[in-house]
Amino acid sequence: MSQNVVVIGGGPAGIEASRRLRDLGYTPILIEKTPVLGGHLARWDRLFPEGIEARTVLDPMVADLDGIKYFTETEVSSINRLKDTWVVKLSNGLSAQVRAILLTTGFDLFKAEKKEEYGYGIYERVITNADLEDWFKSGAAPQFDAVNVIGFVHCVGSRDEKAGNRQCSKVCCVTAVKQACEIKEKFPDATVYCFYMDLRMFGRKYEDLYLKAQKDYGIRFVRGRVSEVSEDNDGHLFVKAEDTLFGKPLKIKMDLLVLMAGMAPAADNHQLARMVNIQTGEDGFYLPQSIIGSPCTSSREGIFFAGAATGPKTLPETLSEAASAALAIDRYLKTPQKK
Amino acid sequence: MIDFGYGLTPSSTLKIENVANPAFEELRQREPDVAKCIACGSCTASCSAGVFTEMSLRRVILSLQRGREKETLPMLQHCMLCGKCLLVCPRGINTRHLILSIGKVYKMEEDR
Amino acid sequence: MRERILAAYDPFVLPFVFGMTFVLAYCLIALVKVLLQLNAADRRKFALSLITPTTIVKNIRDIFCDCLLHVKLWKRNPVLGYMHSSIAFGWFMIIVIGHIETILYIPERLHRLYYPIFYRYFMEEQNTTLQGSFFFFLMDFFLLIILSGITIAIIKRFRSRIVGMRRTTKLTLTDRIGLYSLWAIFPLRWIAEGFTAGVAGGSFMTVPINWILHNFMSKPENITVAWWLYSIALGTFMTVLPFTRYMHIPSEILLVPMRNAGLPVRHTRKGFALTMLYSCPSCGVCIDACPMGVQKKNVKDATVYMVRNLKRRNQKRSLEIAEKCLMCGKCAALCQVQMDACGLRLAYRTAQEKKTNQIPADFSYLAAVEPIAPAVEPVALDDEKVLYYAGCMSSLTPVISRSVQKVLQSAGVRYELMDKDGSICCGRPLMLAGRQEEAQQLIAQNRKLIEASGARILLVSCAICYRIFKEHYALSGVQVWHYTEYFSRLIREGKLQLRNSHQTLVYHDPCDLGRGCGIYDAPRAALRTVGQLVPALKERKESICCGGSVGSLTLRYEDREPITRNAIDNLTANNPEAIVTACPLCLKTFGRFAPVPVFDFAQVLADNLE
C-alpha cells in the first residue's frame, strides 16, 4: 500500500500538490474546511493578465482527483507527534498516521469592513474586489440607477500597519487594473479611476495590461491613497484622496467604489502552527526554513508548505510551489529513517 | 566676446546630492517616524485644515527631506492637531508629534 | 494626678523640641512661599474660599476624611485603609488626648510644646480615679491601634502583594530614615510609658509591660534611656520629614482647601502645583493604575515619578513623562490626594510649547468657514432644533454619524449637521498638545458658528469634543449633550421604540466621557434596553484607556498596541458578544485588535430600532 501524506487546505496549492504527490506514488489525504475545493480561485471569474476564465484552470484540476482521498467540510482536530510520524485527527472522526504533512492553508481575504473609513458594509455602493468577481461570474449586477463614475481603491488592508498587514499583497494592483478594464467594458461611458500608492506590475504581461488600461480603456490613474468616503442623501459617494503627483487633495463624487481587499494570513494559521509546533512570522504567515533556498520546508521534520500560506503569491507561483513541495516531500520520505 | 544672449541665472534643479541636511537629521532624532513616509497622501486628503487651506503634511515631509522647508513651513501654521492624519497613516507615523517636533527644529521666517 | 518632675523639664525632650520647631518653621516658610507664588487672582479666590461657610465645612470634612480617616483608601483597599487611618487617626487622637489631659490637670504647662507629648513622664498618679483610668485606657487603646497599623506597614514593606499592591515605589535614603524612625516611635513610646506605668499609671498595654519587666524597669537610670530613645525617634522623624514623602502629611492640610477653592494648575512647580507635588505620598497607586504599565519600560512614567522628577528639577525626564502620558486620568481618579496629574503634565506641555515652538499658528482662515444656517440676523432660537457635531474623528467612522441620524429621525427630532463639509476641530487636541491660546481661537470660531445656528441643543458623539465643549465653551443659550445622555433621555421620554436583542454587551467607558465628565450611567441605562450588559473587570472610574488617546504626544503606534490588547482583555473577561463604546477613537482603536465586534453606542440603538 502506498504511503499517505496529509495535505491541509483544498485550494489550488493543495489540489495541485496532491495531484503531484499521487503522480509520485503516494496517497494524499486532502482536507478542506469549506464545502468546495478550489479556495478563492473557485470564486473568481477571470484571471490576470490575459483574462482567461478561472474555471479553465480549476476545472481540469478538480476533475483529476483519482487516487486522492479528499474530505470537504472537514477540519483538523488535533495533530500529535508519535515517534517519527504525525497522527492527524479530523473533525469527521477519521485519523491518519503519516510522516509528512503539507500545509496549503492559503490566505484570508482582508475584511474590508475593518477599514471603517471606506464604509464597506455601511454604504451600499462600496463593494470589494471579491464582490465584483461574484457579480461578473453570476452576471447578477447590483441595481444602481446610474453608474458613471467608478473608483478602485488599491491596498485595502495591504501595506497598512493600522490594519495589521504591513505586507504588499502583490496581486491587487494587477487585479485592480484587470477589473477596471472589465468594468469599463460593462459601462463603456463610465469614468474609471484607480487610486494607488505604487503600481506594482512585476509579472510577465502585467505591464502590457497596464498599458492597455491606459491606452485602450482610458482608465485614470491617481497616485494617492483614499483616506475617507462619505455619502450623500441619495447614496452617492464622496471619495477623498490626495493627487500626490499634482499635489492637491481631491474629492470626487462616485457611483461605485471597489475596494481591493488584500491578502491577510489565514486565521487558522496560529492554531495549526501550535499543533505542530512551528513558527509564524510577525506578519502571521508561516516561516519556511529559507524564503529563497527552501520555501517549502518548515523548521519541523515532516511539515511542509506551499502557496500563500507563507505569504502573498500569484496563482502561477502557487502552482509551481505546490510542485516543488511535492518533490521536497518525496525526497524526505525516500530518505532512510533515522533510528 | 560675442553675446549669445544668455545670462547667469540660478539653476532650477533640485540639488539633493551634496546638500547636508542637519536640520532634517535633528528632526529624525526627535521623531524617527519622519523617515517612514511613503507619500501616499492619506494625511493630506483627510486633513481638517486641508479643507480650507493648502496644508499638506505629505508635502511638508518631502520638502524637509529635500532641504526646501521654506516652501512648506507656513502650511503648518494652519494645523489644528486634530489627529485625523494620525489615524489614517498606513505607516503608523506619529504625525502629531512630528508636527510638534518640526516646530522645535525649524524656524519660520519672521517676515512671512 | 500631680506633677512628678517639678522642673517640668528634662534634657531628653530636646531632640523632639528641635525636630518639632524645625518642621513647623519649614512648613511656615513653605506656606508663605506657596501663597506668594499664587497670582493675585488665585490668591484672592483662595482667601475668599477660606471664609465661605460651605467651603469651610467642606474643608474640615475633607481634611478629616482624607487626611485622618483615609475614607477613599478604605473603599479601595480596606487593609491599606486601616493601616493608614490607624496610624494617622491614632496618632492624632494621642496628641489630642495628651492635650486634653494637660488642659484638665495642669493647664499652666500647656505652653510647653513637649509637655502634652511626654505627659506620662512628667506626671504621676496618686490614686486611681475613674477619669484617670478612662484616659489611661484611651491612650493605650489608640497606642494599640497605631501599633497594629505599624505592624501591617512593616509586613507591607516586605510583601506588598499581601496588601494587594502589585507594584510600589522604591524608597529614597531619606524616605528610609523617615520610615524607620516612624516605625520606631510607637514601640519606643510603649516601652517608655511601660517604664513609668509603675508610678505614672497606665492601662492594658503599658501596665503588663511594667509588670513583666518589673526588675529591669524599676531601675531609674533605664527610665530616662527609654524616654530619650522615644524623643530621638520623634525628633529624627520630624527633622527628616520635609525631605521625605511624609511631607505629604502637612502638605495635604494646605492642599485640601486649595483644591476646594478651585485653583487651576498654572505652573509645574509653583503655587498650587508645589503644594500638590509635596502632597504626593509616593504610595504608588498610580503605578498600577497607569495603562502604559503593561509594558515594563513605561512603568517609570507613572505620576509618582513625574512628581519625583519635578521635585528634583530633572527637566529631561519630566518632559518625557509629561509628553508620553495618555491623559486618561485614571491615576488622578484613584489618587489618594487627588493629584491633578493631567493638569501638571498639561502645565508642563504648555510651558514647553511656549518656549520652543517656532512656527506660530495662523487660524485666520477659520473666519471664512460658512455658518451652518443662513445667517439671517437675528437668528431665532429654536428650542426643538438639534445641532449635531460629529467631530473630526467621526468622518473616519461613518457608522457613528449615520446611526446617530437614524436614531434622531426615528425619534422625530429636527436636526442639522454642523460639520458635513469639514469642521473646525473642537480644540481639545491642541490643548492637550500644550497650545492653549491657539485652542482658544478654535473655540471662539466654533462658538460663533454654534450660536449663529439658532439651535438650543448641541449634540456631540465624540467624548473628546464633548469634554471641551462642556469645560471650555461656555455657550450661551445652548445646552451641550453627549449622545449617550440625549438618547437615554429620548428612551425615557418614550420617543424611541427599541427591541431587546438579548445580545451580551460590555460597555467601555471612554476616558473623557467617564472620568472626564462623570457620565457612566446614561449609556448603560440605554444599552440595557437593547441588550444584556455584562461587566468588565475594571470599569467606570477604573476603566482602562483604549490606548488610542490623542493625549499622548510621543507614544508610538507599536507601543499603543499592548495597551489596547490589555484593555480588550479587561473588557472581554466575561465573554460578551460585542464591545460597545461611545467615542470614535476608542471604536477605531479597539476595532483593530478586538476578537469580538466593536460597536458604537448609537449603532447598537440604530440596529435595534423597532
> Could you give the ipTM of this predicted complex?
0.91
Closest by Cβ to B90, choosing from A160, A242, A243: A160
Residues of each domain in chain C carrying CATH 3.40.50.1860: 364-490
Q: Which domains does chain A have, with CATH numbers?
A: 4-106+266-334 (3.50.50.60), 110-262 (3.50.50.60)
Read off the C-alpha cell for C357: 515652538
pLDDT band, very low/low/confident/very high, at C225 (cuts 50, 70, 90)? confident
Q: What is the mean pLDDT of residues C333-338?
A: 89
Tell me whether B39 touches chain C (CB under 8 Å). no
Which pLDDT score, from 0 to 100, does residue C199 have? 78
- What chain C residue is nearest to B74 in terms of C-alpha separation? C359
Question: Considering chain C, what is the average pLDDT of its residues?
Answer: 90
Range 543-562 of C in CB contact (< 8 A) with A: 557
Please state, in angstroms and rounded to a whole number, the distance separating the CA atoms of residues A70 and A16. Answer: 13
Q: What is the pLDDT of residues C547-598, one digit of tens each?
A: 999 999 999 999 999 999 999 999 999 999 999 999 999 999 999 999 999 9
Which pLDDT score, from 0 to 100, does residue C213 have? 73
Q: What is the mean pLDDT of residues C272-287?
A: 90
Residue type, A209: L
Read off the C-alpha cell for C169: 515605589
Residues of B with CB under 8 A from a CB of A: 38-47, 50, 56, 58-59, 87-92
Tell me whether residues C395 and A123 touch, CB distance under 8 A.
Answer: no
Residue C326 has pLDDT above 50, yes or no: yes
Residue type, C210: N
The gap from C-alpha C71 to its chain's centroid, in whole angstroms, comes to: 13
CB A166 within 8 A of CB A159: yes
Q: What is the pTM of this model?
A: 0.90
Tell me whether C406 touches chain A (CB under 8 Å). no
Tell me whether residues B33 and C442 touch, CB distance under 8 A.
Answer: no
Q: What is the pLDDT of residues A133-142, one digit of tens each?
A: 999 999 887 7
Tell me whether C331 touches chain B (CB under 8 Å). no
Tell me whether residues A116 and C588 touch, CB distance under 8 A.
Answer: yes
Contacts of residue A116 in chain C, CB cutoff 8 Å?
Answer: 396-399, 587-588, 591
Tell me whether residues C356 and B103 touch, CB distance under 8 A.
Answer: yes
Tell me whether residues A241 and B87 touch, CB distance under 8 A.
Answer: no
Which pLDDT score, from 0 to 100, does residue A338 have? 61
Which pLDDT score, from 0 to 100, does residue C110 have? 82
Please state, in angstroms and rounded to a whole number, the distance separating the CA atoms of residues A254 and A245. Answer: 21
Q: How far is CA C324 from CA B93, C302, C309, C515, C587, in A?
A: 15, 10, 14, 19, 22
Closest by Cβ to B40, choosing from A225, A240, A247: A225
Cα distance from B82 to chain A (closest Cα, Å)? 15
Q: Is C378 exposed, middle or buried (0-12, 13-18, 19+ CB in 10 A)?
A: exposed
Q: What is the pLDDT of residues C415-467, one digit of tens each?
A: 988 887 777 899 999 999 999 999 999 999 999 888 888 888 999 999 999 99
* Conformational region of residue B16, where left means phi above 0, alpha means psi within -120 to 50, and beta covers everything else: alpha
Closest CA to A331 of A99, A105, A106, A103: A99
Tell me whether residues B83 and C429 touch, CB distance under 8 A.
Answer: yes
Which pLDDT score, from 0 to 100, does residue C26 have? 95
In the predicted model, residues of chain A with pLDDT beneath 50 are none
Residue of C402, C406, C415, C417 best to disrupt the A interface, most CBs of A under 10 A: C402
Contacts of residue C357 in chain B, CB cutoff 8 Å?
Answer: 100, 103-104
Cα distance from A263 to chain B (closest Cα, Å)? 16
- What chain B residue is nearest to C436 in terms of C-alpha separation? B80
Residue type, C485: E
Tell me whether C351 touches chain B (CB under 8 Å). no
Contacts of residue B41 in chain A, CB cutoff 8 Å?
Answer: 223-225, 227, 241-244, 249
Dihedral over Cα of C554, C556, C557, C561: its sign: negative
Residue of C359, C512, C564 best to disrupt the B interface, most CBs of B under 10 A: C359
Q: What is the pLDDT of residues B5-35, one digit of tens each?
A: 666 666 677 777 666 788 999 999 999 999 9
Closest CA to C356 of C323, C379, C334: C323
CB A37 within 8 A of CB A62: yes
Tell me whether residues B38 and A197 touch, CB distance under 8 A.
Answer: yes
Q: Chains touching chain B at 3 or more Cβ pairs under 8 angstroms?
A: A, C
Residue of B42, B56, B71, B94 best to disrupt the A interface, most CBs of A under 10 A: B42
Residues of each domain in chain C carrying CATH 1.10.1060: 250-356
Please state, in angstroms and rounded to a whole number, the distance separating the CA atoms of residues C354 and C276. Answer: 23
Which residue's entry shows cell 525516500? A334
Contacts of residue A162 in chain C, CB cutoff 8 Å?
Answer: 557, 592
- What chain B residue is nearest to C438 in terms of C-alpha separation? B80
Read off the C-alpha cell for A303: 511539515
Which pLDDT score, from 0 to 100, does residue B110 have? 63
pLDDT band, very low/low/confident/very high, at C378 (cuts 50, 70, 90)? low
Which pLDDT score, from 0 to 100, does residue B112 have? 44
Tell me whether residues B82 and C357 touch, CB distance under 8 A.
Answer: no
Tell me whether residues B48 and C392 touch, CB distance under 8 A.
Answer: yes
Q: How far apart are the first and last CA of chain A?
A: 22
Please state, in angstroms and rounded to a whole number, the distance separating the CA atoms of residues B24 and C167. Answer: 40
Peptide bond before residue C242 is cis, with ω within 30 degrees of 0: no
Cα distance from C397 to chain A (closest Cα, Å)? 5
Residue of B70, B71, B81 best to disrupt the C interface, most CBs of C under 10 A: B81
Tell me whether residues A244 and B90 touch, CB distance under 8 A.
Answer: no
Where does C364-490 sit in CATH, by number?
3.40.50.1860
Closest by Cβ to B41, choosing from A117, A159, A225: A225
Q: How far is CA C607 from CA C292, C399, C403, C497, C585, in A?
A: 34, 11, 8, 11, 21
- What chain C residue is nearest to A111 in terms of C-alpha separation? C592
Q: Domain C492-607, CATH 1.10.3470 — does that match?
A: no
CB C396 within 8 A of CB B89: no
Q: Radius of gyration of chain B from Cα atoms?
A: 17
Contacts of residue B33 in chain A, CB cutoff 8 Å?
Answer: none
Tell me whether residues C392 and B104 touch, CB distance under 8 A.
Answer: no
Q: Which of B54-58, C105-109, C593-597 has the lowest mean pLDDT?
A: C105-109
- What residues form DSSP beta bridges with A87? A80, A97
CB A71 within 8 A of CB A30: yes
Tell me whether B70 touches chain C (CB under 8 Å). no
CATH class as words, domain C250-356: mainly alpha
Residue C352 has pLDDT above 60, yes or no: yes
Q: What is the mean pLDDT of residues C182-196?
A: 90
- What chain C residue is nearest to A251 in terms of C-alpha separation? C421
Please state, in angstroms and rounded to a whole number, the distance separating the CA atoms of residues C192 and C231. Answer: 10
Tell me whether C361 touches chain B (CB under 8 Å). yes
pLDDT band, very low/low/confident/very high, at C377 (cuts 50, 70, 90)? low
Read off the C-alpha cell for C555: 507614544
Which pLDDT score, from 0 to 100, does residue B14 have? 74
Residue scoring higher pLDDT (C377 or C53): C53
Cα distance from B1 to chain A (closest Cα, Å)? 44
Cα distance from B44 to chain A (closest Cα, Å)? 6
Using DSSP, state whether A226 is helix, strand or coil. Answer: coil
Q: What is the pLDDT of residues C227-277, one digit of tens each?
A: 999 999 999 999 999 999 899 999 999 999 999 999 988 888 899 999 999
